[in-house]
């Protein structure tokens, strides 16, 4: 067993997924470094510049083409992340393949035939992602899904049919994705299956649709066989609500004979099963008592699972295939800290491997399995070399009703002279809450943790009940508990940190994005004495309006929200949603609050921030409100991220007394609009006028 956070080679997502989670850039850039640098108390650690943490990486998301001839990566061109490539034998002979001028490209991949580079892009954060392709020989770029107000889904790729993929498009009906066959080289789209009721589909290696999924009345999922593009009338398998977010089909082997499942039915944690498609017989492949089986590595030729992971406090990988086990052991012997496989050639002779060495910025390597060589490809953020980056500590915290909350603590440099994981004296703390809520915090480099720790704060991230990966009992303990037991968990974690001497009673701020933004508003409105101040990033303030404005393509999943949050169509459910909405207790807020919102957010509409800001103004309560007109659910542009965190660190500095890099002219390159309360953040009025 290797305790390493290998990136999944095949990603399968839950049907409803992390609904209000912040979308993350799909790049290896999320791992940089965790190295601890000790400093004496009289000697403050140097300030890490915001640009070094939130600016563009030098390179990220390295991949190798399936045929093994080309290397590719994301890197800035004129300040905007674009896709670059170079011959495998000469990485310095690089050329830029895309021409994004405004919004960074954050997700790209190779076509199976290695003839083109594909990427998805939306407009201003609206999450209507379209698919684009660049022919590597001619350099010609094509919009492969040329539609307005459409969001593409990639349904299937193939080992045997290299020039086509299956995509879902909701251009006919915004609620449902029809299945199309896309010829990657001609751009021809052929409708395969018109969809009027299903939430998702799964195909095999022949690009034949084999399964359809639809929510049932219970809030679970029904799974239907598809034969000749006709969906069976009756499901062959189903889940109830309690298993709906912890049970998912995880794909077919390439010959279509085995269907893998991540399945929690009849148990707590999701185990990995292999189902014989012909007989229906299921074999248990892997299980873990504390965590769901999460990622898998598959043989590129056969689709057979070679290794699997489970993530409790840290990620543990177990190899089934002896050759994969030997390869992972080799990498383990060569690399310090965390590593993972992020790209593989068809013949599996070459891997692209990321490494988080814990004492230096993350690096990416080319692993030639035939020669047994590991060659440096690039360092993601070389400007972090020598920076006083801090280790993240996994900790377990008990909730008041006996649950264990897997959590992560980062301390300021120089605060823990004896290295016992606790500061020598209490320091101010930021409780940094993850979005979702059906998502999780993980171990490893975290940009926000590093910024805040560097500024003098302890940072605590808590996997409160409802977080995913810890089994269905933990997940379902959050049902109908928004603002109730989910919030109690955050209070319990705060009290734990105070009891441990990590922080003091009036020294804790709460901060987060999406559900974490909601938790911030709830913290300040429902428990106004607990937190010294709050930072809400794209958080909902009114759960009733949140549910009434979800994107149309979430309609097939709406039952999940109603069963887990409260059903607005029932008197009892509506009362629950209103009671859990910070908007109605906005007049209880007494502590400083900073709110940031993207104007184009399709998940948490701008009205969610507008409403609570309006209510606070009406009650004469000060608030600072920052709007980004060209962003959505979270901020993609580095200039906007840098500007926002500049405001946030100066806001926190005034509230908790930590350090801050002055604002200077940081707002100039960004689209930041200060709609309210510039006077409440040190230097903000001057920065607006500069």
Of 25, 18, 7, 17, nearest to 122 (Cα)?
25
Q: What are phi and psi of 53, to 5 degrees?
A: -95, -40
Measured between its terminal Cα atoms, the distance across the chain in Å is 56
Angle (deg, nearest 10), helices 638-656 and 447-454: 40
For 205-263, the DSSP string reads TTS-EEEEEEE-TTSSEEEEEEETTEE-SS-SEE--GGGTTT-EEEEE-TTS-EEEEEE
Contact 106, 25 (CB under 8 A): yes
Contact 626, 644 (CB under 8 A): yes
Of 614, 609, 578, 615, nearest to 595 (Cα)?
609
554 CB-near residues (< 8 Å, 6+ apart): 19
Contact 70, 88 (CB under 8 A): yes
**Edge-to-edge, what's the strand order for the sheet holding 315-319?**
293-298, 305-311, 315-319
3-state secondary structure of 191: strand
Angle at 106 between CA 104 and CA 107, to 5 degrees: 140
Cα torsion angle, 486, 491, 496, 501, sign? positive
Contact 95, 137 (CB under 8 A): no
Tokens of 602: 């399709």
| Rg of the chain taking only CA atoms, in angstroms | 24
Give the number of C-alpha atoms closer than 13 A to the C-alpha of residue 360, restricted to the C-beta side: 12
Positions annotated as catalytic residues are: 514, 601, 633
């Amino acid at each position: 067993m290797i305790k390493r956070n290998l990136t999944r080679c095949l990603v399968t997502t839950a049907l409803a997924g992390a609904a209000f989670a912040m979308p993350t850039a799909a790049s290896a850039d999320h791992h940089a470094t965790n190295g601890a640098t000790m400093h004496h108390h009289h000697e403050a650690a140097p300030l890490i510049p915001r640009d070094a943490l939130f600016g563009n990486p030098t390179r990220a998301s390295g991949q190798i083409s399936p045929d093994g001839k080309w290397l590719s990566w994301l890197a800035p061109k004129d300040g905007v992340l674009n896709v670059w490539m170079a011959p495998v034998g000469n990485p310095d002979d690089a050329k830029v393949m895309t021409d994004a001028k405004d919004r960074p490209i954050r997700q790209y991949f190779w076509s199976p035939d290695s003839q083109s580079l594909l990427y998805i892009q939306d407009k201003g954060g609206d999450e209507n992602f379209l698919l684009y392709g660049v022919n590597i020989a001619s350099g010609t770029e094509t919009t492969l899904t040329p539609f307005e107000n459409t969001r593409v889904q990639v349904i299937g790729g193939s080992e045997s049919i290299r020039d086509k993929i299956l995509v879902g498009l909701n251009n006919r009906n915004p609620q449902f994705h029809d299945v199309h066959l896309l010829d990657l080289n001609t751009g021809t789209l052929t409708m395969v299956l018109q969809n009027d009721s299903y939430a998702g589909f799964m195909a095999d290696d022949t690009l034949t649709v084999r399964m359809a999924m639809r929510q049932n009345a219970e809030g679970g999922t029904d799974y239907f066989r598809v034969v000749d593009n006709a969906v069976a009338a009756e499901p062959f398998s189903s889940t109830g609500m309690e298993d709906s977010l912890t049970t998912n089909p995880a794909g077919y082997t390439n010959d279509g004979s085995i269907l893998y499942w991540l399945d929690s039915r009849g148990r707590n944690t999701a185990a990995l099963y292999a189902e014989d498609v012909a007989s229906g017989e299921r074999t248990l492949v892997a299980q873990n008592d504390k965590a769901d089986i999460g990622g898998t590595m598959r043989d590129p030729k056969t689709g057979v699972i070679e290794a699997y992971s489970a993530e409790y406090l840290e990620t543990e990988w177990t190899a089934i295939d002896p050759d994969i086990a030997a390869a992972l052991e080799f990498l383990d012997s060569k690399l310090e800290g965390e590593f993972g496989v992020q790209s593989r050639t068809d013949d599996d002779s070459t891997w692209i491997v990321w490494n988080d060495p814990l004492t230096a910025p993350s690096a990416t390597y080319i692993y030639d399995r035939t020669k047994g060589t590991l060659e440096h490809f690039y360092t993601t953020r070389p400007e972090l070399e020598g920076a006083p980056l801090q280790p993240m500590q996994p900790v377990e915290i008990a909730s008041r009703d006996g649950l264990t909350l897997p959590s992560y603590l980062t301390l300021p440099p120089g605060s823990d002279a004896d290295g016992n994981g606790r500061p020598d004296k209490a320091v101010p703390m930021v409780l940094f809450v993850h979005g979702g809520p059906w998502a999780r915090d993980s171990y490893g480099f975290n940009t926000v943790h590093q910024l805040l720790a560097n500024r003098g704060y302890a940072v605590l991230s808590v996997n409160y009940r409802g977080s995913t990966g810890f089994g269905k009992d933990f997940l379902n303990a959050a049902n109908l508990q928004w603002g109730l037991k989910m919030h109690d968990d955050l209070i319990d974690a705060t009290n734990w940190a105070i009891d441990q001497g990590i922080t003091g009673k009036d020294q804790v701020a709460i901060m987060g994005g999406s559900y974490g933004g909601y938790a911030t508003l709830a913290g300040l409105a429902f428990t106004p004495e607990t937190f010294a101040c709050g930072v809400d990033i794209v958080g909902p303030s009114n759960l009733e309006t949140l549910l009434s404005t979800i994107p149309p393509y979430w309609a097939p999943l709406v039952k999940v929200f109603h069963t887990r949050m409260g059903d607005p169509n029932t008197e009892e459910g509506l009362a629950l949603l209103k009671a859990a909405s910070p908007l109605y207790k906005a007049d209880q807020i007494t502590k400083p609050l900073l709110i940031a919102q993207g104007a184009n957010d399709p998940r948490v509409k701008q009205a969610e921030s507008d409403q609570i800001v309006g209510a606070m103004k009406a009650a004469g309560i000060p608030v600072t409100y920052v709007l980004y007109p060209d962003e959505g659910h979270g901020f993609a542009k580095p200039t906007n991220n840098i500007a926002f965190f500049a405001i946030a660190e100066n806001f926190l500095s005034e509230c908790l007394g930590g350090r801050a890099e002055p604002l200077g002219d940081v707002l100039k390159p960004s689209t930041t609009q200060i709609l309210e309360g510039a006077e409440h953040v040190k230097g903000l009025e001057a920065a607006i006028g500069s």
